[in-house]
Amino acid sequence: MPSNPNDSQPFDPSQRTLCPDGSCVGVIGDDGRCKVCGAADLSGQPAESPNVSAPPPPPASESEVGQGDAFDSHRRLCSDDTCIGVLDQSGLCKVCGRPG
């Protein structure tokens, strides 16, 4: 399915060149510059998506996980549903400061 009704060819994301600035979400246009930040493409080659070339890391085995990494089953969550904090020893949320 064409991405633009005026285009005769279907959309092919592999034909895009990503912006060389890792903090930008733009793509390189026909003029050789990023359409978002204006950075020039100095490589001349399309950027390869990092999630395609790098396989995910293997999961840690139980022997590799230290005691400090264990889940604290005694933790108490903040009473504010919009907060992601947990309560400290005094009963106050470590993120927003509200009492539990």
How far, in Å, CA of 40 to CA of 19, rounded?
Answer: 8
Tokens standing for residue 3: 């991405």
**Residue 10 and residue 25 in contact, taking contact as beta carbons nearer than 8 Å:** no
Over the range 37-70, which residues count as b (16 or more CB within 10 Å of their CB) and which as e? eeeebeeeeeeeeeeeeeeeeeeeeeeeeeeeee
Predicted TM-score (pTM) of this structure: 0.35
Residue type, 49: S
Q: Tens digit of pLDDT for each residue in 35-48?
A: 999 999 887 554 44
Q: Where are the domains of the chain?
A: 8-43, 75-100
Whether the pLDDT of residue 82 is over 70: the answer is: yes
What are the two backbone dihedrals, phi and then psi, of residue 27, each rounded to the nearest 5 degrees?
A: -125, 155
59 versus 10: the higher-pLDDT residue is 10
Q: Tens digit of pLDDT for each residue in 52-78?
A: 556 677 776 655 555 555 677 888 999
